[in-house]
Each structure stands twice: as structure tokens, then as C-alpha cells.
Copies of this chain bind each other. A is one copy, B any other.
Amino acid sequence: MSASKAIEDYLKCIYKLEDPSQTEKGVHTSAIASRLNVAQASVSNMIKKLSDQGFVSYEPYYGVALTTTGRQLALQMIRRHRVIEQYLVERLHYAWDEVDAEAEVLEHAVSDKLVDAMWEALGRPTHDPHGSPIPDQDGIMSEQPVKALVDVAEGEQVKLARIKNRSPEELRYLTSIGLAMGEGLRVKTKAPFNGPIMLEINNELHALDYRIAQALMVERQHD
């Protein structure tokens, strides 16, 4: 018996929540609830099931952590999602703000065979349209040496390497000010108190909100 759509979504969600922090503590049920837009009680129930099935280890009132099996499944879902996104952009002329919604549904429907066929057809890509790395068939994902735009020093010239989890509206806005994957930009000034960041893109000056800048990952310009 294979995992349901709900189970797949929970595992992917837990993966994303436990990933960045590297904390000792497990993922809190409240965090899962708010990210998936479900009631906390629903999470409690589902966690119990996931634990029974060996996808997560769970300590009540402490938190959840993926088991090896659970992490594998989560990474498989991420692979599916990103391969689908890349395929839609490369082969079916989707814009980068349109792919997420479509992939969110398709990732639960496609077979492994189809994912691999798309991946091969694209020439085994390593990144999706937002610059996020695609795990390989064994669930191994290369992490990139990138840093958040908010950490770049004033005056530095960088290029856009990745955008994490932004809404279609925000992505369209970024497009409208000239930002795209691999695009070069220079940080002119950073306002204090997490204020707006002034960017020079194509010789134009734009003020970018701090919260959006947190999602932009850049690398040093080496060209």
C-alpha cells in the first residue's frame, strides 16, 4: 500500500520545517498545522498515523522527526515537484510563477517512470526554475554555496541563484523589476531596522522589501 496524498504532503511539510534549522528539537505540530492550513487536532491524529507507519519518530509535547524512510519519501516528493516544474517551464512554456500550483497537484499523480522520463528528456537537470536543487533518484540533493540577499554587503555585485517559496504574485513582481534566475544585481544601500534594500538591476534602481529579500539567494558574480 502506498502513501496517500495527505501523507505525502505531511512528510514534505515536515521535511521543509526541519531542514533549515538543524535544531535538536523536533518539528512542532503547530508549525505543521499553520503551514498546511489544518487544525492542530488534525495534525495530532496524522502524526500518530505517520509514527505507526514508521515515517516519523514522535515524542508528545516535544516534536516530530522524520525517520530514514520518511525522509526518503519526502525527498522523492520534492524531486517530483521540481522535475515537474522544470519540465513545464522548459517544454510547455509555463512561466515561473505558474508552475508551483500545477506541480503541487501532479506530484501526487505521476509515476516514478514518468518523473524519470521527464528528467531524462530535460537532460538530467540539477535545478528547478526557481534555482532549487533537484534530488537525484536516490534522494541525494546538492546544497549550493549561496547566501541570502539580506546578508550581502552594500556595494557588492551578485547574481540571483535561487528563490525560496514565494507566491505567484511576488514572482511576477520580481519579473517586472527585471529579476530572473542568473540575473546580475548590485546592492546599493540597506536601510536599517530590516528596512528596504536598494538594488541596481540593469542600471535601474529598485527598492526591495526586506521580507522578500530574505527569500532571494545569491552567489558572487563570476563572469
Which A residues form the contact surface with B (CB < 8 A)? 88, 91-94, 98, 102, 105-106, 108-111, 113-114, 117-118, 121
Contacts and interface: CB of A to CB of B under 8 A. Distances in A.
Contacts of A113: 98, 102
Given A91-B121, A102-B113, A106-B110, 10 more contacts: A91-B91, A92-B117, A92-B121, A93-B117, A102-B111, A102-B114, A105-B110, A105-B111, A106-B109, A108-B109
A88 B105 CA distance: 18
A113 B35 CA distance: 27
How many monomers of this protein are in the complex?
Answer: 2
A149 B114 CA distance: 34
A114 B106 CA distance: 11
B114 A109 contact: no
Contact of A105 (B94, B109, B121): B109
Nearest to A106: B109
Nearest to A114: B102
Contacts of A106: 106, 109-110
A116 to B, nearest CB: 10
5 contacts: A91-B91, A98-B113, A102-B110, A105-B111, A109-B109
A111 B105 CA distance: 9
A118 B105 contact: no
Contact of A118 (B92, B109, B110): B92
Contacts of A93: 117
A106 B121 CA distance: 19
Nearest to A93: B117
A151 to B, nearest CB: 37
